[in-house]
Structure 1
Amino acid sequence: MPDIPPLAAAQERSLDDLLVAVARDRDRGAFSELFHRIAPKLKGYLQRLGAGPSQADELAQEVMLLVWRRAEAFDPVRSGAATWIFTIARNKRIDTLRRERRPEIDPDDPALVPAIVPDAPPSADRTIESVEDTARLRAAILRLPAEQADLLRLAYFEDQPHAAIAATRGLPLGTVKSRLRLAMGRLRRELEEGR
């Protein structure tokens, strides 16, 4: 009987044998043969599942990469190599369909950026009300004692911390806080009476 060349002998191996060789020995030659024998069938299968030619080709490559990475999970007692690989392909296609149905959110989408979408202009009556409220507030601040009005201006209009106000005015921090509290109470009462 003539010697069989190694390539011919390898071609006679079953898909199960090739996958076991990949799992057990990380045999690149066995994987290469497995790839060349099954990848074209995978592509056709994925196209029958609705993938376009380029997507089917990409998915087939992803499946074969998973086969290489997870070959040790193959159990020839539970299923054949082809069944195992085609199950991976089917699951990969389902995952792709799910992603297509629920696309990822693009954080740069102008509809999602609140600063780009202008707010609706306020109604005319709300604009008039706002102007009147502002006028009442200014009048109430003018009626405050000068020292309270000054502290209020520093704290709320110039946004200075209470400790900084105390340092610049030469007052104890507690005094600044109590005078601001008195000023706010007085403003609140005057604004409530003016309504």
Structure 2
Amino acid sequence: MELTRNRGGKISTGRKRVTEVQETLATQGEWVAHVRRIRDAQDQSAFAELFRHFAPRVKAFLIRSGSDAAMAEECAQEVMATLWHKAHLFDPARASVATWVFTIARNKRIDYLRKQRRPEPEDLYWGPEAEPEQADVISLQQETEQLRSALKVLPKAQRELIEKAYFGDLSHREIAAETGLPLGTIKSRIRLALDRLRHAMK
């Protein structure tokens, strides 16, 4: 499997960035549990975590869809309020929490446009990606585990720099400033680490 560094500074598997894969697999269950805690116990800490994660993403989605910042901010607040009050309507068998949240956002935007008597956009930009096929999820899980194992056997000095560069999203210069290592040393270690990872992931 080919490993590259994309524009966002993450390791890419060629289909999805590893960090995105890990987030999809690791946090979907957490978000479902959070919604259930809100539904069953009006858990404010669970809501706060969902709010911190989704509210800025919903706002950005609405701005990309053509909303001004003020409307996007107001709508994002309404979306999260809907999540709080209607958590009992969420069905994890039908959609992920992200899909549910962005569906609410899309509907809120359409309602707003109707109230403003503006033409509804024919092709409204959709927020989250489509849910992956089960076979793809299993394959991505395996690849993620393979990468995790490969990272563990790297020399500590190389592994720490890979984590800072690809998972911490730091530039080489930022790593140099943080660690005090020469820029050439950082580049050399990262290059050696990537060679090891490519070999392990074949």
| TM-score bracket for this pair, using the shorter chain length | 0.3 to 0.5
Based on CA coordinates, which of the two structures has the bigger radius of gyration?
1
**TM-score (norm. length: structure 1):** 0.45
Higher relative contact order (CA 8 A, sep 6+): 2
